[in-house]
Structure 1
């Protein structure tokens, strides 16, 4: 006899298979994996719900919830720029900034300024970086910038960090300025100034040393008297010299007497 539905066992297997596939699809829509070095932002019907999700397996409501990943590892991004100095000279260089998104701010970033990693630099880092570069370099003349490049690089980093702290989205971990380019005629003038500064520093050092020597001799000269000189002579006397100064301050003598060949 055949089953009433006329399909037999094959139909049951088909139903079971369909249910299994549906459950598998539902599971893939429910469980998602956040890779190491990333956090996920979950939205429910387009609205951010809850905080960021940490690396590892996570659960979301199927169909109505979606996820967006943000890389929170250190990012390194070079930025070529040109700007004006205080004396209105154009310089070109490369600023390489190192930064990282604050994991706790991923949800706020998604809500207010960027919905994926590709937008972070252009919308958050770059505007603050260019503003800081313009602000710092406009305070110094070209010669100062060329000779104090490392110090100015630190000032730019501090300024970028200050600008970004207003929004509190990211952490600046470092900034390097490289590849300074200036007009050739100004480069020669800067080199001449550096040479002149080195000569001036050398001359100042020599004057300082001479002043110290003069002060030392002045102190030594003021401390010398007959008693000290006599003591110094005795310290160096070999006991055989035929001319020896008498002890200073001998009564009845207006000048130090001497002993010559054993006689006064």
Structure 2
């Protein structure tokens, strides 16, 4: 009977240790639910019972209320997305190309984005960027004929970027940082017409340049002719005279009709 007896207080120590261990585990769980880390290049939106509360949370450690508050992350770094599209020109020709958008979410607008249109990064492009981009592409290309589009591709690209920025500014969710149009594809039968237009434009530019040069040259000679008189001509002759020529014009202004000349030192 005595051999089966345990030391007094043994169960109490084990129970205390278990309680301390359980408390530490609960504390760690509580801390993990209270502290969250926002990665660099992101912001976090905190919701309290489903409602956005407070401003955006910046990168680094942040606090939230366990079980009551939840977090959603948005990448605010520059995003690059290519969009293949096809559309009609003013002369009803189909073109295909690729528009590569560079954009970034405004950090200060992350909460409004979450509330109104997208709850994660994957939804930003199809719900915010893509509709405005396609609308801008159709709007711009429908104003120009195919030949103009092909020969003024860089200018068209700038117009599309401005149009996209204008569309997105209505909501002000993101900033447009750039747009590139590449890979223009058109029907083969129109390539020759485009090349001919480019050649004609080059010839026209060359002709206009030649005409402008001729006009400037004529104006120069006209000004020169108006500035010349006998004394100026005589001065020019003396500047070039080698001292050996036997026929020299007489000094301008000599009385008596035709200006006399000096031949071998005699008048």
TM-score by length of 2: 0.95
Unaligned runs of 5+ in 1: none
Q: Deviations over 1:129-168 (max 9, x none)?
A: 0011111111111111111111111111111111001001
| Residue number in structure 1 paired with 2:177 | 173
| Residue number in structure 2 paired with 1:248 | 252
Given the alignment, which residue of 143, 151, 155 partners 1:151? 155
1:65-76 to 2 correspondences below 5 Å: 65-76=69-80
Unaligned runs of 5+ in 2: 1-5
| Residue number in structure 2 paired with 1:77 | 81
Given the alignment, which residue of 232, 238, 259 partners 1:234? 238
Structure 1 residue 246: Cα displacement = 0.8
- Say if 1:2 and 1:8, in contact at 8 Å, map to a contact too: no
Given the alignment, which residue of 162, 173, 196 partners 1:192? 196
In the alignment, the residues of structure 2 paired with residue 149 and residue 73 of structure 1 have an alpha-carbon distance, to the nearest angstrom, of 28
Q: Deviations over 1:179-203 (max 9, x none)?
A: 1110111111100110011111111
> How many corresponding residue pairs?
262
TM-score by length of 1: 0.96
| Residue number in structure 1 paired with 2:265 | 262
1:1-264 to 2 correspondences below 5 Å: 2-3=7-8, 7-251=11-255, 253-264=256-267
Q: RMSD value over aligned CA atoms? A: 1.3
In the alignment, the residues of structure 2 paired with residue 119 and residue 3 of structure 1 have an alpha-carbon distance, to the nearest angstrom, of 65
In the alignment, the residues of structure 1 paired with residue 231 and residue 58 of structure 2 have an alpha-carbon distance, to the nearest angstrom, of 86
Q: Deviations over 1:71-99 (max 9, x none)?
A: 01110000000111111111111000110
Q: Deviations over 1:92-145 (max 9, x none)?
A: 110001101001101111000000000000000000000111111111111111
